[in-house]
Amino acid sequence: MPDFVPILNADTLSPGQVTTVSINGHNICLANHEGAFYALDNLCPHKGGQLGDGELSGCDVVCPLHQWDFDVRTGVSRYNPKDKVATYPVRVKDGKVEIDAAAVPPIPVVEGYLKQWDHTGESEAEPDIDTIHKLAKGGGEQHEPMRTTRKVPDFDSLYFLPGQLAERPLRLALPVYIIHRRF
């Protein structure tokens, strides 16, 4: 049975805009596409970007992190149709945008300090405790970190002559920060 709850006044979200609202502790991206309202999961399945912080491009909400797009009407990505975010029923009643709270799954409440990170058992993807102890003692295959064979100057061998700092270099793309060191 639907349970529509008012979220915001319809006139506060102009056509072409998106925002984030919360229902049952769950963040929802609310979009106004050409005067019609749509609600979909706020979390981009690619890398967790917040769709409510993105922007509308036609009927697609574009993730602000990596520009993945999702059709606000269906939740399907045009970039990869296999990727989809959930959509939720929306209606406008008496000038208020309402979302069906019964359709939005509640976020489970986890009691206790850092309880949400507590592992109750080992999974296949996680190494067992014996493997961790073996690796910690230096057992197992050794890998060298990336390094260069050239001699790398240390900080004490770097210095600037005052004439070098008189003018900015011609092709400087980033600002130069000079660290003064007392000897």
pLDDT tens per residue, range 67-113? 889 999 999 988 788 889 999 999 999 999 999 999 998 877 666 66
Residue 2 pLDDT: 84
Nearest to 42 by CA among 10, 5, 72: 72
Residue 17 pLDDT: 94
Mean pLDDT, range 9-35, rounded to an integer? 92
- Inside any domain, residue 157: no
What's 35's domain CATH number? 2.102.10.10
- Inside any domain, residue 29: yes
- Inside any domain, residue 175: no
pLDDT tens digits, residue range 119-170?
555 455 555 677 767 766 766 655 555 555 666 666 666 665 555 555 665 5
Residue 96 pLDDT: 94
Q: Which range among 16-20, 34-38, 172-176 shows the weakest confidence by mean pLDDT?
A: 172-176
Count of domains forming the chain: 1
- Inside any domain, residue 111: no
What is the span of the domain harbouring residue 31? 4-103
Nearest to 44 by CA among 25, 24, 66, 16: 66
Q: How far apart are CA 19 and CA 29, in angstroms?
A: 6
Residue 182 pLDDT: 54
pLDDT tens digits, residue range 68-77?
899 999 999 8
Q: What band does 7 get if pLDDT is binned at 50, 70 and 90?
A: very high
- Inside any domain, residue 139: no
- Inside any domain, residue 156: no
Residue 94 pLDDT: 94
Please tell me what DSSP assigns to residue 77: B
- Inside any domain, residue 21: yes
- Inside any domain, residue 151: no
Residue 109's φ and ψ, nearest 5 degrees, are -85, 130
Beta bridge partners, 180, equal none
Q: How far apart are CA 9 and CA 94, in angstroms?
A: 9
Q: Give yes or no for residue 23 having a pLDDT over 60.
A: yes
